[in-house]
Structure 1
Amino acid sequence: MASLPATGLARAQLRIMEPPARVGARPGGVIATVPLQFNPNKLALRKSTEWRRKPSRMASESALPEFVGSGPRSLDVEVFLDATAKHDNSVEQKVERLMLGCVPTPRSLAAKKPASPWIRFEWGTARTTSFNGVLTSFSVNYSLFDVDGKPLRATCSLTLEEASTDAPGQNPTSGSREARRTHTVVAGDSLPQLAWREYGDATAWRVIAEANDIDDPFVLVPGRELLVPGTVESEVDGEW
């Protein structure tokens, strides 16, 4: 792991987001942005394709493969934690925070649609290793302990599996604030309701209001087409 100087080096981070409000939707609002204490010194990226072969008893060689589909990307990340210079003198709190990626979020439980957060690994301008995914595997190795048994150093191994799905023909920039997705207003619609449906966060209605010059989020004219930005930019930075 590379220790980070004060300036001049991009810092790797994990962006933790609310799971989508419905199947096929985008992730909800950002729960926290977690900067890593040390940049990883290696990343393992995998992607697979699925092929099918129909056996032929008469063929002298194997049958031609038939393409079935493309599998998701999978990323292995090692997160090194060191609390030897910290006042709390333990890494357990940070480990427990990472493990929250394996359990349902309070908001999804309240909506009776339990789901764990979506997670995105980001590091500078890297693109192949940066995608919306879910945490499918988590393990931790403690390597140094205090006299009272508290762990002082740990290496956490995370496996993220790609979870984003793009609709056929979708504009590749649809993840930006400038995306031109639309929603036709029906009777009873309100911006908080639409924000919850699109982002999983009713308080994000201002993003839609700003894109459509709307003053009152509860007064919408049925039949009007609203522009719905692709993502919510508001977030809460997590302390690490």
Structure 2
Amino acid sequence: MCAALRSSRTRAQLTLKEPPTSVGAKPGGTITQLNLQFNPSTLQLSKTTEWRRTPSRMAGESALPEFVGSGPRTLSLEVFLDATATHDNSVEKAVEKLMKGCVPTKASLGRKKPASPWVRFEWGTARTTSFDGVLSSLSVSYTLFDVDGKPLRATCSLSIEEASVDPPGQNPTSGARTARSTHIVVAGDSLALLAWREYGDATAWRAIAEANDIDDPMALEPGTELVVPGLSDAGAEEER
């Protein structure tokens, strides 16, 4: 393949933006952008649905499943970094950019509402893999080093979980959520998933945590009944 054709090929990129300042808002300005040196060879896209079955003594084989909700998309990919042919002579600057997606932004800390940046992967005209999300996992493997120990090559594995879908306050079956409701925790539940399902914003999980005095959002016991505040209640709790 000629050099001109290679240079004109569309490059993939990752963009980190300020998290929304309120439930349902759009992400803020760009914090940093990483233009990938090499386009991914594989993109793994997954999406889940949640069903609940209530055991029935009269059912012949099993009770009919009840559709609970649709989970967010998750995009997993590997980013290969190589500094052997660049002026930087190290891949650590690019790794530091990715690491910013795992810690609260300065602006969110200033608002006393710490939140990590929203992340968006874009590659040409691809649509199913391009969405606003949050970095749910990141691992870096350094595979080549200079004589002084500087990392020259790295493979970064990351997963982006969708954070924005439907307009806030809208539910496909019930319309605007303005009143409190309850939710029974089932295996695999998380506050982020519940916030996405109820408000259309996974980052609004703190409103549910505060309403239920939850200190550890990862420790949800199946069978626990949670109070889910309505949008108006959630906004009031955030302003306090």
1:94-113 equivalences under 5 Å are: 94-113=94-113
Q: Which residue number corresponds to residue 122 of structure 1?
A: 122
The CA distance in 1 between the partners of 2:171 and 2:82, in whole Å, is 46
Which of the two has higher C-alpha Rg?
1
Secondary structure of 2:99's counterpart equals: helix
The CA distance in 2 between the partners of 1:20 and 1:33, in whole Å, is 18
Q: Which residue number corresponds to residue 213 of structure 1?
A: none
1:138-177 equivalences under 5 Å are: 138-167=138-167, 168=170
Change (3 A) 1:97 1:33: closer
Asked if the contact 1:121–1:129 (Cα under 8 Å) also holds between the matched residues in 2, the reply is yes
Letter of the 1:34 counterpart:
L
In percent, how many aligned pairs have the same letter? 71
**Count of residues in correspondence between the two structures:** 167
Q: Which residue number corresponds to residue 86 of structure 1?
A: 86
The CA distance in 2 between the partners of 1:20 and 1:12, in whole Å, is 24
Residue-by-residue CA offset, 1:58-88 (whole Å, 9 max, x unaligned): 3220111000000000000111000111233
The CA distance in 2 between the partners of 1:41 and 1:126, in whole Å, is 14
Runs of at least 5 residues in structure 2 that lack an aligned partner in the other structure: 173-240
Higher relative contact order (CA 8 A, sep 6+): 1
Query: Is residue 26 from structure 1 mapped to residue 26 from structure 2 by the alignment?
Result: yes
Secondary structure of 1:5's counterpart equals: helix
1:156-235 equivalences under 5 Å are: 156-167=156-167, 168=170
Asked if the contact 2:34–2:94 (Cα under 8 Å) also holds between the matched residues in 1, the reply is no
Measured after TM superposition, the shift of residue 169 of structure 1 is: 8.7
Secondary structure of 2:107's counterpart equals: helix
Runs of at least 5 residues in structure 1 that lack an aligned partner in the other structure: 171-240
TM-score, normalisation: structure 2: 0.66
The CA distance in 2 between the partners of 1:48 and 1:121, in whole Å, is 20
Secondary structure of 2:6's counterpart equals: coil
Measured after TM superposition, the shift of residue 109 of structure 1 is: 1.2
